[in-house]
A and B are shown apart, each in its own frame.
Chain A
Amino acid sequence: MKFGIPRGLYYEPFITEWKVFLEELGEEVEISPSTNKLILDEGVREGTNEACISLKLTIGHAIYLSKKVDSIFAPRLMNVDKWKRITLCPKFRGLPDLLRVSVPNVFTLNAFLGNFRRRFSFYLSVGRELGAGFLRTLKAYGRARSASRLVSYLMKRGFTPDEARNIVLNGNFSLKSGISEDGNGFPVIGVVGYPYIIYDDYVSHSLIKRIKEMGFGVITPEMLGEEEINEALKVLFKPLFWSQSNRVLGSAFIMLRKPEVEGLIHISSFGCGTDAWVSKLIELEARKLNKPLMRIVVDEHTAEAGLVTRLEAFTDLVRWRRGRAIV
């Protein structure tokens, strides 16, 4: 059988993990290409209105894939955190059912990926569905996990998810990473946002590349460690209910406290429910710590020119503040 894994809401390291796992079980896997205008238009036409751009994109990617593959591999991401009660945005929970509205064949299972026990039982049931034996599943699981660990490691070192996947799956090893924290003494700008937005060059209009071209170092949530983030979140009365949001919020708290980070950009999609809380909490914290913060909201209509102007104004502000600090 040939499976397709849509991008959009699905993100690394899960894409690589699933691809390696399915291929080890002898299935063919195709990952949808980077977002382009065609995919976006398809998704916007088919998707529910009021949904965030990433949800519409997932539908667009799935439609694109459905012409080429037998089935869309779309696990219902329920939990990727060590606490079982910390889940993901409701859109992830409804995603397979939403995909079924537009795409005929969707392969889905509830995926609890928070710790070894839950993760392994998820992969076992996938293996069972596909008719693979225990030992074969075990072997595939091992391969998949090591690939995904490598992807996470590379992302932590400043490779973009696409670069990391390329290295792990194709062995195209390059030492030059897309983003690296170390800006050779340049000021560093923190970019926080969900991985499926900040690393999607079409949606974010290559925000990270642009910041780098302007002579800044960039730091993203994927470059920070899990423990560090959980520690930073302890200032809250209770954590947020969504793993990705906790990650974004925790890393924003860390970045705002790092002396080398001179400014923070929070990029989120229009209508993002979880970001309503995240952005407010970041805003209150940034005001308290007196750090420049810019919030960019993207959707399918965001124009590049407006975004660049705002980015230039923000970097000027950061530079100006830096100049004043030295004087």
Chain B
Amino acid sequence: MMKLTLPRMGYSYIGFRAVFDVLGHEFIEPLPLTKRTLDLGVKHAPEFACFPFKLTLGNLIEALETGRVDTIITAGGIGPCRYGFYGVMYEKILKEELGYSFDFILLDPPIKPYGNFKRVWEIVKKWKSELSWGEFFRRVVQGFKLAWKKLKRVEELEALVLKKRGWVKDVSRIDGILKNALGKIDRAKELEDVDLAFEEAKRDIESITPDRDEVLKVGIVGEIYTVLEPFSNLNTERLLNERGVEIERSVWTTEFIEYNIFPGLPFPLKQIVGYDTKEKIEEYSKPYLNEFVGGHGRESVAHTVMFYKMGFDGVVHILPFSCMPEIVARGILERVSKELDFPILSLSFDEFTGEAGLITRLEAFIDLLNMRKKKRRAVA
């Protein structure tokens, strides 16, 4: 049995816990991110490492400090985004520089020259531990089914919350419902319990009467970690919601898994929001960005065009400082904004981003959107 953990990203730990619980390993929930996490990460990470790396490194250091963890698990990758190399850097920094000892599992696809089948095989054997093969496969299927259900229900709920919060004055009530439901989903052992918790929360949220007559519609695009982890974007989505903005998020863990980890699955997994196919991405980004640039660079451009076509008021582009794919997207979004006459706010986050400056920029953006809306109505 392994006592394992992984870096925190939004609510993705709920899915991972489901898998490892079913497999019979002890999953230690990643600690919530705090100022201390960030300070630790900034201290030990390279200066120009992306902001998510600094946060996750700090998160892992804090997990190792508790002494309860003996295995760390992270996904690998084959680039060109830096994310695929996080694992190697964690291991180098945590082991060579900080002297922690632990078992490290890096999930690399068996694609040469980055990984091979031998490594995959070793990981499978570690996960199996003492189980028999039949039992192991049964549990893997069961675990992944449960995890997938949980992740999807959580994200569907989040999508609902992001929309509804814009309509009400008191957002804390919806936050309470979400928190309650997340706890229930996390604890659920059966697929039905997950659905039940979801339905209940959905009913609760829908029964709240809106306080506003109309809201702005803003799409969120950008780098997945910074979008999903509220600590890293200083709760930008909530800040927008509080100011009367309905939000549609375009990046989700489940979609990321679907399109990047299992792109060639014979049976298509059901999507949450349902607009995100490979062909669509290519079609929307066509005149502006014609090649995959790693990470969510191309998706950022495509989703922005999509939000424009869906009649949104504007788009907020969230990226961590020095993120390579998103900088490319950012340069191209300038052109998109100019050609389509569509307001786009690019916000880059790092350890020096202050909340006051962020709020000022968001408020200015909202004022701009309101003004445009009024003007359009006057013309019409």
A93 to B293, CA, bound (A): 6
| Given A86-B113, A87-B80, A280-B92, 14 more pairs with CB closer than 8 A | A47-B331, A50-B327, A89-B324, A90-B328, A93-B292, A98-B332, A240-B85, A241-B114, A271-B322, A277-B82, A277-B85, A277-B89, A279-B47, A284-B96
**Does B239 lie at the interface of the complex (its beta carbon under 8 Å from any beta carbon of A)?**
no
Question: Can you sample 22 A-B contacts with CB below 8 Å?
Answer: A48-B327, A50-B322, A51-B331, A86-B113, A89-B80, A90-B325, A93-B328, A94-B328, A97-B291, A97-B328, A97-B332, A236-B88, A238-B76, A273-B50, A273-B82, A276-B50, A276-B53, A276-B82, A277-B89, A279-B48, A280-B89, A284-B96
A281 interface residue (CB < 8 Å to B): yes
Could you tell me the distance in whole angstroms from the C-beta of B57 to the nearest C-beta in chain A? 11
Q: Which of A76, A85, A88, A276 has the most CB of B within 10 A?
A: A276
Write out the residue numbers on chain A whose beta carbons fall within 8 Å of the beta carbon of B335.
Answer: 100-101
List the B side residues contacting A275 at CB < 8 Å. 48
B344 to chain A, nearest CB (A): 13
Whether B96 lies near A277 (C-beta < 8 A) is: no
Bound state CA distance, A279 and B92, in angstroms?
13
Interface residues on B, range: 35 or more
Q: Tell me if A286 is interfacial: C-beta within 8 Å of chain B.
A: no
Asked whether A178 is an interface residue with its Cβ less than 8 Å from the other chain, the reply is no
Docked Cα-Cα span, A257 to B295, in Å, equals: 35
Assembled-state Cα–Cα distance A291/B112 (Å): 33
Is residue B115 contacting chain A, with contact meaning CB distance below 8 A? yes
Interface residue ranges of A49-98 to B (CB < 8 Å): 50-51, 76, 78, 83, 85-91, 93-94, 96-98
Residue A242 interfacial (CB < 8 Å): yes
- Cα A284 to Cα B76 with chains together (Å): 21
Interface residues in B283-309 by Cβ distance below 8 A to A read 288-295, 297
| A85 CA to B292 CA, complexed, in Å | 13
Cβ contact of B88, chosen from A50, A97, A98, A238, cutoff 8 A: A238
Separation of A277 and B48 alpha carbons in the complex (Å): 8
B46 within 8 A of A: yes
User: Which size bracket describes the interface of A in this complex?
Assistant: 35 or more
Within the complex, the shortest CB–CB distance from A78 to chain B, in Å, comes to 8
Closest Cβ of chain B: how far from A106's Cβ, in Å? 11
Whole-angstrom distance between the Cβ of B122 and the nearest chain A Cβ: 13
Which residues in A have their C-beta under 8 angstroms from that of B115? Answer: 238
On whether the beta carbons of B294 and A93 are closer than 8 Å, the reply is yes
Check A85 against B111 for contact (C-beta < 8 Å). yes
A110 at the interface (CB under 8 A from B): yes
Residue of B nearest to A239 (CB): B113
Inter-chain contacts of A91 with B (CB < 8 A): 324, 327-328
Any chain B CB within 8 A of the CB of A294? no
Shortest Cβ distance from A48 into B: residue: B331
**Contact status A90-B81, CB under 8 Å:** yes
Is B80 a contact of A241 with CB atoms below 8 Å? yes
Per the 8 Å Cβ criterion, residues 260-304 of B in contact with A are 288-295, 297
B46 touches A93 (CB 8 A): no
Residues of chain B within 8 A of A237, CB atoms compared: 88, 91, 106
Interface residues of A (CB under 8 A from B): 47-48, 50-51, 76, 78, 83, 85-91, 93-94, 96-98, 100-101, 110, 236-242, 270-277, 279-281, 284
Task: Answer whether residue B188 sits at the interface, using C-beta atoms and an 8 A cutoff.
Answer: no
Q: B79's contact among A48, A241, A271, A279, by CB below 8 Å, is which? A: A241
Q: Closest CB of chain A to B191's CB: distance in Å?
A: 37
Say whether B332 contacts A90, CB under 8 Å. no
**B331 and A90 within 8 A (CB):** no
A271 to B288, CA, bound (A): 24
B37 contacts A by Cβ under 8 Å: no
Q: B140 in the interface, Cβ–Cβ < 8 Å?
A: no
Contact with A along B82-102 (1 / 0, CB 8 A): 101100110111001100000
Residue from A98, A238, A272 within 8 A of B108 (CB atoms): A238
Q: Which residues of chain B from 63 to 82 have any CB-CB distance to chain A below 8 Å in the complex?
A: 76, 78-82
Residue B334 is within 8 A (CB to CB) of chain A in the complex = yes
* Of the residues A89, A238, A271, contact of B114 by C-beta under 8 Å: A238
B165 part of interface (Cβ distance < 8 Å): no
Query: Given the complex, which residues of A lie within 8 Å of B328, measured CB to CB?
Result: 90-91, 93-94, 97-98
Contact of B80 among A97, A238, A242 (CB under 8 A): A242
Contacts A238-B88, A238-B113 given; indicate if A48 touches B334 (C-beta within 8 A): yes
Chain B residues with CB under 8 Å of A96's CB are 290
Q: Which of B49, B89, B93, B293 has the most CB of A within 10 A?
A: B293
Question: How far does the alpha carbon of A87 sit from the alpha carbon of B79 in the complex, in Å?
Answer: 8
Which has the most chain A C-beta neighbours within 10 Å: B113, B115, B329? B113
B112 contact from A85, A88, A89, A101, Cβ within 8 A: A85
Do residues B79 and A94 form an inter-chain contact, with CB atoms below 8 A? no
| Contact between A241 and B85, CB atoms less than 8 A apart | yes
Contacts of A101 in B (CB 8 A): 331-332, 334-335
User: Who on chain A is nearest to B108 by CB?
Assistant: A238
Which of chain A's residues have a CB closer than 8 A to the CB of B289? Answer: 94, 97
The 9 closest A-B pairs by CB, nearest first: A241-B79, A94-B328, A48-B331, A276-B48, A273-B324, A280-B46, A90-B324, A276-B49, A90-B294
Contacts of B90-135 to chain A: CB distance below 8 A: 91-93, 96-97, 106, 108, 111-115
Residues of A within 8 A of B290 (CB): 96-97
CB proximity of A269 to chain B, nearest CB, Å: 10
B323 at the interface (CB under 8 A from A): yes
Task: Check if B291 sits within 8 Å of A110, measured CB to CB.
Answer: yes
Rounded to whole angstroms, the CA-CA distance of A197 and B363 in the bound complex is 40
Asked if B226 CB lies within 8 Å of chain A CBs, one says no
B327 & A51 in contact (Cβ 8 Å cutoff) = yes
